[in-house]
Structure 1
């Protein structure tokens, strides 16, 4: 009985060894290539159980997930001959396992080759842009250009570059302060130029407005003078018409107005009682001849009487 159990266990172990030699499992996160005596046989891309010849075939596994390469910061030269230090990270994945295995062997070799490619494309691309553009406005465009160019070259390694992202882009410490001082000075000059242009335009607008105001005021004064002249002429005509209709009454009214003005001033006036000025106070009856009526004054001259 004990001997039979030993045989069964031995056979089971042998079967397990044989099974492990003729099969292999590809997980969802992996892909594999099968080599026979070092020569490529086929690729197992989908997850599942696969068979192989024992002892002469082997499975080499590769990650099918998104991988990253965080390279050391490097110094580059821009179009305006400024040095810039760029720290970047590259995200990539294996799309051709056999090409990947033949060209770079493993992920360590892939990262080394991929860093060389990205460094080269960064150097070439950054050399076509000025430093302030790289820092301010064109970073996304530069990263896209580097990603496209790097991905095309990485296809030779069985790799697809998903994107190249800048973590940091700075000047070397020894030149950073001087460069930023120059940039601030340039921005200050531009701001002063814009302010001067704005003040000049404002002065032109004010001068134009003043000219228009002078013209409008002159036209208004001319119209006012014309209206006053027409009013004075109409008033004179009305007074003349009233005088023609009743000269004695008009003379009487004018004399009363003269009394009011003289008496309101409070001055002492010495006149003869027979003076013509007191005629209506002595005898208010309208007996005066029309020809002796006081002269008719225009409304403009009444205040001077």
Structure 2
């Protein structure tokens, strides 16, 4: 009898411990809880600490911190038919666990829904914008519109959307190669055009320089011929004046110039003594012979 009583006490204690274990739950400071009874929410528990529930009830916990979502990149066609690979992210906070449980149930299911919301919003907003809107100051306005639409669609889930941003907007690999090839061909075309313009200008400069050179040479030749003619005329006039004043002296002077030019230290000439070339040599001897 004593053994039976002891066994009953032990079993009762174990049952009480199990009941107490199932009736108590702890809410962390970073979490919030929802008490569920037979599949229906009974109450919300937002205060951290130890709490009590019925053993047949269970507690569902949700994070109350700021959460991140990074959906897969989406290929979006813009208004000007440019395709971009959009990599976006969102930050959100669960502010109403009851609504969240009723609409999504779990955080994983909500993230799937939020990914679909972000994807649809990107298509609807960016599909009406040109590429220049994402490369200018209008980018902030476009992102603000995306965040506003995502926030409106996420409100029924009991979630506050804190931020939605486009982290990267890249061209698809095929489009990038085509655009780079087009940019290279455009730059090559511009370079060829500049080279052609430079060659044309160089040819024009060379033609003008050659023309100026020809004109300058012609003018210089003309001027030199004029000066040479004037010099020759002046020389002839000088010789004529000298010859007119004293013909004998002029003949003598010209003979001396001829001697200076023709006769040198190593010059050998075979001429007759009666040659006209030596007429003044003979006169010099005659004068010397008749002298005192």
* Partner SS for 2:50: strand
Does 2:33 align with 1:32?
yes
Gaps of 5+ in 1: 190-305
Q: Is the 8 A contact 1:135 1:169 kept in 2?
A: no
Correspondence for 1:21: 22
CA–CA separation in structure 2 for the residues paired with 1:46 and 1:181: 61
Alpha-carbon shift at residue 112 of structure 1 (Å): 0.7
* Partner SS for 2:135: helix
Task: Between 158-167 and 175-184, report the one with greater CA deviation.
Answer: 175-184
User: C-alpha offsets along residues 14-73 of structure 1, whole Å, 9 cap, x if unaligned?
Assistant: 333221222221111111111111112111112122221122x11111111111111111
Q: What CA RMSD, in Å, does the superposition of the two structures yield over aligned residues?
A: 2.8
Correspondence for 2:153: 153
Gaps of 5+ in 2: 191-292
CA–CA separation in structure 1 for the residues paired with 2:14 and 2:132: 70
Alpha-carbon shift at residue 180 of structure 1 (Å): 5.7
Correspondence for 1:166: 166
* Partner SS for 1:80: coil
User: C-alpha offsets along residues 137-177 of structure 1, whole Å, 9 cap, x if unaligned?
Assistant: 33333222211110111011122111112221011121224
Correspondence for 1:288: none
Q: Is the 8 A contact 1:144 1:163 kept in 2?
A: no
* Partner SS for 1:120: helix
Flag the structure with larger Rg.
2
Number of residue pairs aligned between Structure 1 and Structure 2? 186
CA–CA separation in structure 1 for the residues paired with 2:49 and 2:120: 40
Alpha-carbon shift at residue 87 of structure 1 (Å): 0.8
Calculate the TM-score normalised by the size of structure 1.
0.54
CA–CA separation in structure 2 for the residues paired with 1:98 and 1:132: 43
CA–CA separation in structure 2 for the residues paired with 1:157 and 1:132: 35
